[in-house]
Each structure stands twice: as C-alpha cells, then as structure tokens.
Amino acid sequence: MKVAIVADTHGGFKPLFDRYKDKIAEANLVCILGDMYRSEAQLLVDFVNVTIIAIHGNHDDENTYSNLGIYMLHEKVAELSNGLSIVGFEGSYRYKPSQIYGYTQDESVKRCSELPICDILISHDGPRGYCGNILEDAHCGLQGITDYITRAKPKLVFFGHHHKNTNFKIGNTDCYNVYELGIFDIEDGKVISYQNYNPERLFNYNNV
C-alpha cells in the first residue's frame, strides 16, 4: 500500500504539488496531518481519486477541511484496504491561548488514554520526550501520545508539527515525523521504503 502524507505546508504546497503530483497520484491513500491551507487541501481533493483522511493541526480552524469530502479521523478509527486499523489525534501542546486544537499535557494524557488500540496512529504533534526539548514550549510533544504508544504498541506512528523529517523507534513502534510531503510504501504494518520531498522554499514563514 502506498500512502502520501502531507503535513505543515502553511501555504507552500502549490510548488511542491506541481513538482511531485505524479508521486501523489500513485498513492492508495492520502493522509493530512494538519496545518494546511484550505486551498491546498482542495488541490488534493480535486486531484486524487482515493480516500483522504485528515486531522487538524494547531494552526487550523474549523473550516480548514470542512465540506471537502475529507474524512476527519480525530479520535476515530478507520479500517484500511490492507486490513490495518488507523486512529487519529489532532492538535498539539497548547502554547498559545488562542489555539483551537491544543491541550495541556494532562489533557492529552486523558484524551489519549481513551483511544482504541490500532495498528497505526496519525497525529499532528509527536510523542513527548522524543521530539527535542521536553520543556513546555511549542515543540515539546504530547505526553498523551507517548503514553498511547507505550500502552497500545501500534506498528506505526506518523506525525507532523516539528518541521523535520526524522524517524525513530519507541519499543517496537516505528515513528516517522513528516514535513510537507512523504510517500510511504507499507506492507504488513511495516514501512518498506519511503521518500520525503522538500524542495527549496521560494519564501520564508514564521509559523511553528
């Protein structure tokens, strides 16, 4: 199964899409991990003929993905065509009072404790303790996600927010931080190959 994962494009997706849409066209599933513009999500909806699932990022609002035919996966489970189950968790650590999709660490622990056991977790934020500074800042990660991985032992975790392309293991769980666009080949709950696509940006932005 080939999965296209898009995260944290913040208005920079069009040149990426134009350059790599042939890669996106090969995907059997598209996952949006949050922090896209609505117009960028519309590009994907108009282009692909496969299911698109999404979760909100900390910069999204209620209208970012609404009424586009995108399946919102926050705290929901979907069964994929390859037999794997996938659950989603939106938002990040709340570092700004104005955040719609954000949590304190305690809130994340409570909410994630109620997530069902699945083969794959997609989240906007990553697991606290594995994403850099564990202090309470914009990119400290969520304790609830760390606890979920420890409890549920999913095969795979994909997350955004941290503007990096990295991967690591927590126990037997393979975790991938995706920035902008990644194409993953998944078989039997394992990533057998993947490629990240990050062309040089034509502009700078200050979103985190």
Per-residue pLDDT of the chain (208 residues; tens, 9 = 90+): 999 999 999 999 999 999 999 999 999 999 999 999 999 999 999 999 999 999 999 999 999 999 999 999 999 999 998 999 999 999 999 998 888 999 999 999 999 999 999 999 999 999 999 987 666 688 899 999 999 999 999 999 999 999 999 999 999 999 999 999 999 999 999 999 999 997 554 333 334 4
Answer yes or no: is 10 within a domain.
Answer: yes
Residues 6+ apart with CB under 8 A from 139: 131, 132, 133, 161, 162, 208
In the chain, where do the E strands start and end? 2-7, 29-32, 52-54, 71-72, 77-79, 85-89, 92-93, 102-103, 120-123, 156-159, 166-170, 173-177, 180-187, 190-196
In the prediction, which pLDDT does 131 show?
A: 84
Contact criterion met (CB below 8 Å) for 31 and 60 = no
177 occurs within a structural domain: yes
Would residue 190 count as lying in a domain? yes
Q: What is the pTM of this model?
A: 0.93
Helix ranges (DSSP H) in 48-178? 105-113, 143-152
Please tell me the predicted confidence (pLDDT) of residue 103. 95
Contact (Cβ atoms closer than 8 angstroms) between residue 155 and residue 171: no
Residue 202 lies in a domain: no
Q: Cα 6 from chain centroid? A: 7
Which CATH number do you get for residue 149?
3.60.21.10
The answer to whether position 172 is within a domain reads yes
Q: Order of strands, edge to edge, in the sheet holding 173-177?
A: 77-79, 85-89, 120-123, 156-159, 173-177, 166-170
16 forms beta bridges with none
pLDDT at 147: 98
For residue 99, count CB atoms less than 10 angstroms from its CB and return exposed for 0-12, middle for 13-18, buried for 19 or more: middle
Residue 91 lies in a domain: yes
The pLDDT value given to residue 170: 98
Tell me which residue range forms the domain holding 125.
2-196
Domain annotation covers residue 39: yes
**Is residue 156, in this structure, part of any structural domain at all?**
yes
Q: Into how many domains does the chain fold?
A: 1
